[in-house]
Amino acid sequence: MCYSEQHRLYRAHHYSVTPLGARSGLIRWVDGATPMFSLYKRWHQRDAALKLQQQQQQQVLVMLIL
Q: What is the pLDDT of residues 9-63, one digit of tens each?
A: 666 677 778 888 888 888 766 777 777 788 999 999 999 999 999 999 988 878 7
pTM, two decimal places:
0.47
Residues 6+ apart with CB under 8 A from 27: 15, 16, 17
Confidence of residue 64 (pLDDT cuts 50, 70, 90): confident
Contact criterion met (CB below 8 Å) for 16 and 10: no
Output the pLDDT for position 15. 77
Output the pLDDT for position 8. 63
